[in-house]
Every structure is written in structure tokens, then in C-alpha cells.
Structure 1
């Protein structure tokens, strides 16, 4: 969580300095919910994160170096400089590259799980994520419906962060609770305070366990607040200030740090040392990546189709 937060703060700084082109999308405020899924998945599982899941990505095995190389556009990165932010992945290792069309990854993960079923693999879980706004798309309906019909071991995290870009939840859906959607599709639904790491670990862990044991797809709704704009280009001036005073409006990392210190599991000095070590690592790797080559348009094969080099470059991970 903390590494993801400090890394994303550096990404925002690089973006403001003009050293990152395109968009920068942060998971500030959603780290506890996101990391809970990444931590409970294991080798052989499928993970398809969304734009605010840096914490979950890192828990699943993504690295600071790969993240920086992708955002900065290094030719040495997992996407060879062909993508500017969050569409990286290693499908051979179950880490699926994100599709920008919201809801589309659900069907992809369901397909991956059905393929594993046909190959005789058991005990596999597929996890993916979406925001509350994405639950209004047709792709969400199609994916979640077939998941329920086929009873695949899918765990879908829905981050209810109160805004779909600038659209508040009151203009997104009419049901009183997003868990009602789970009932409508015949899924098991779970609800959790998305700012509380301890609760997230417990509830998401139970959902993953249920899916792994063959109890069908699980939908987990985390109530929280997006503590940033849609991207770093967005100042989020439309957010109602009352949200920050609500129970879901807190910072999950501050809450986790307070819990650790109040229970004497960690001291303030140790927390400061963690921050110092992580910040130093991020700074050193940023400097390294900024010195690396970027794609040369005169030499690159700009085919939209993935090639063997791109497919196999991280096959051992």
C-alpha cells in the first residue's frame, strides 16, 4: 500500500514536470481495497486490475521498475514503450493487461477461467476490479451474467468511490445499494468499508476462499472515496466537500498507520524509516529509467499486433 502510494506520488510529480506523456491515473484512497485482492491471489490465478489498482498490481508481483518504465515509455519496459500508463501485463503468468473499455475485463477473466476448467485445472481464482460507474455498462452485465450461469470462480471487486469521472452515484444507478446487483444476477455479495485495511483483508479473503472452494462467483463492494481526480489532468473540483467528512472519506493509509501504532505493532520511527527507504528506491529507479532509451520511430515496428518478442519478454515472471 505504502509503496504504491509513494510511487504514484512520484508519477504525479513526473507528469507535472512534463516527463510523462499521456495520462496518469492514481489509486489514492483505494489502496486498502485493491491490495486485499492482490494479496489473496496466488500463483496460477488470474488477475486483471483496473486503472486505480497499483497496490493490487504490486501485491500480485508487479514492480516499481516496470511501472516507471511503462509510464515513462522506456524501451526496456514490459510494453517496450508502446503504452504510456496502465495497460501492461504478462498474460502467460495470469496478469492480464487492462482493456480501457469499462467492464470488458470481466468477460476476459471469465473466458480465462473457463479455459482453465476445460484444461482440468482446479482451485484457480480469477480476480478483477471495476468502479461503481462501470457497473452500468453493458459489458458488466454480459460478463457477470455468464460468470453466474457458468459458476466460474470469479471475484469481482467494485470500488464505489462516489464518482464516475465527475458523475455522482445519484446519477449512475437507482438501487439503494450496489449489492442489490449481486442478488439480481444470483451472485454472493459482500460489502466492506474500503478504507479499513483489516476489514478489506478479511472480507476479500473470504470471497476468494469461497470462489476457490467452488461456491461460484463473488462480488465485493468497497465503499470509499477517490482522493484524487479521474486523472492528474482533473482537479476534482466537482467533488462535494461533505464526502470528505463521511465515514468512507478517510485515507486508508493513514487509518492503517494509526491502527499499527495504536496496537504497538509499529512505531512512528519505523513508519518514517519505511517511507524513507521506499522514497529512496523510487527516486533511484526513476533516475535510472529517465536515462533509458525510448522507442525510435524510424526503427520501430509499430504494428498493433503483439509480436513474439513482446509476448515472451516477461514469460519467466
Structure 2
């Protein structure tokens, strides 16, 4: 708002003071200023223009105290600090509770996962064929019950006329792999990585390569051998691994017929590992000694059946 006072002389001061007393202007508090008017006897220089931006005799009002329409929002500083401290303590308590609950849930999930996650193997042998740049790759995956059995499978399926017979097996905690003349880390290691990636145990994979005249390079070999092993494992049917226990059975020779009949029953799922004959320690005759492999769940029933059938004339020992 601008008021131009064009009058000169002593009447101009009186005119300005009279106008200021009668005017009523509402402006934001940040624009209010106090107008200091000179007295009547003071010398007032003649100016062509005078701008009035505030009213006289009005107190300066702080911008922080202007809230006439919202009196309920004005909170004392002490109360606001106590409220903020209380809210911060509540938030910290809730965060600690949430972190504790998350840790408990993670621990319970980890324990439940470890308790309810059985290992798997493949149900039967599987063959997978692939061809990359005129080189043929034949992958054979088979389930095994021991590292010794894995080595026997490797010898059986390897082709002496092939360029390379690379392999890997895993029978926890044991594992092995072989590159069979390929650059180090390009064949056996990718095959083992495929076995671990499939989440299986008690498995051997042999990948036989027939060279086609084109070199694949390091990366190409890794992809070729790993891809062939993964393809074979994808074709296989997964079954849970059943824990087996090795047992040594010693009985008199005249019980051989009953012993064989009992061990051949399908409900016990017994695998015979070795058989030998010797003289008994007390010198009362010959004895037969069998090394067998039985399912851990079937061992109690098998022991009871052996004792009942042979009338206690048998020795059963767990082999670690």
C-alpha cells in the first residue's frame, strides 16, 4: 500500500499523522513495522513521495505467537519435549521387540529347515546326450552307496576309445572329481558343481567327450561339461536318501540256510557286502561271518528276527 503525500510545509506532517491514525490495515506480521513520526517542531525535509507500510501505536508481534485460529496447537516446550521423549522410547522399545521377534523367527525357521530338509539322491541311472561344435558329450548319472561303489561305476561306464572321461561324485562328506586330461578346472569341477546345484547326494556323474575337431576354449569346456551333467540330473527322478547301517553278523555254519532265508526278505532291504568262514573261538565248530548293509529304520526289527530265528545263537555288531 502506498500513499503519496504531495503537500509540502508544516501541514504535511499533520496530514500524515492524521491519516495513520484513521487507517486500519491488516498485513502479515512479517510485514508490520513501526512508523516513527517526527514531532511537530522537528524539521521535516520536503519529499515528493512518502510510503506508509505500517500503522503507528501497534506493538510488534512475533511471527511464532500468531495462531489465533488454532489455539489448541500451541503446546508448551516442556510438554512437547516430554511427548517426544516418550514417543522415542516407545519407538525404541517396539524396534527392540521387533528385532527380538525377527531373531527368534529366523532361529526357529533355521532349526525347522535343518530338521525337515532331507537329502536326496536319484532313483536310477540316467543318460544325457549333447553336441557342441561337433564334439559329442555323453553324461551318465548313477546312484551310489559308497565312494568305492562310485569308483566301480566310473570304471564300468568309461569308454577307453573316447577322448576324455571326466567324472565327479559326492557321497557326504566325501567327494572327488577328475578332469582326465582336460585343462584344470574345466571338467571335473563343473560336474561336481552340477551335482551340488541339484541338491543330491550319493551320486556319481561321468561325462564322456568325443572330440569333433573344434576347440571349445576354457569357458566353452566349463559350460559343456557342466551343462551335460546338469542335463542328466534334470532327467533323473529324485528320492529321499535313506540312512543305512553296516552290520557284522556271526553265526554257526549250520544256521546258514536260515540266515540266508531271513536276509533275503524284501521287507528288510539288506545288501550283503562280504562273506567269510572261520573256526569259532571256543573250538566248537565253524562260523560264518557276514558284512551287510541295512536301512537304519529296519535294524531293530532285523535284530529281533535274527535272535528269534536262530534262537539267540548269533552275534550282531554295528560297524562304524
Category of TM-score, reference length = shorter chain: under 0.3
Q: Which has a greater percent of strand? A: 2
Larger RCO (CA within 8 A; separation ≥ 6): 1
Q: Which has a greater percent of helix? A: 1
Q: Which has the larger radius of gyration?
A: 2
